[in-house]
């Protein structure tokens, strides 16, 4: 793993370079897109981005967990969790990239 993390600033800079918007407009665009995704998920809507994947909020029920140190049973309360399912296109790109890097190092 390379350890590189893509940030909002990186996304904004990429939009600036590729689209030609100003840096300020690029940053506003990134913020608007992320805000819209977050708002939709908060409303319990599914977000599908073609050729990338889908985000959804799933309800998990209450269950009994176990403290690994003591072995004590502890109730885990019901909660909502965010789930991401990558598209087949994204999976294919990732796997093609992994195969290419394996052939370079071999």
Mean pLDDT of the chain: 92
pTM surpassing 0.85?
Answer: no
pLDDT 10s digits, 14-64: 999 999 899 999 999 999 999 999 999 999 999 999 999 999 999 999 999
pLDDT at position 105, please? 58
Q: Which residues contact 8 (CB under 8 A, 6 or more apart)?
A: 27, 30, 31, 34
């Amino acid at each position: 793993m390379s350890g590189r993390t893509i940030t909002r600033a990186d996304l904004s800079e990429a939009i600036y370079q590729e689209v030609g918007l100003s840096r300020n407009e690029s940053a506003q665009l990134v913020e608007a897109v992320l805000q819209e995704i977050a708002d939709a998920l908060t409303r319990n809507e599914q977000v599908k981005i073609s050729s990338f994947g889908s985000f959804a909020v799933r309800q998990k029920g209450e269950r009994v967990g176990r403290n690994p140190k003591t072995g004590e049973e502890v109730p885990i309360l019901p909660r909502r969790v965010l789930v991401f399912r990558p598209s087949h296109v994204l999976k294919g790109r990732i796997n093609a990239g992994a195969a290419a890097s394996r052939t370079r190092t071999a």
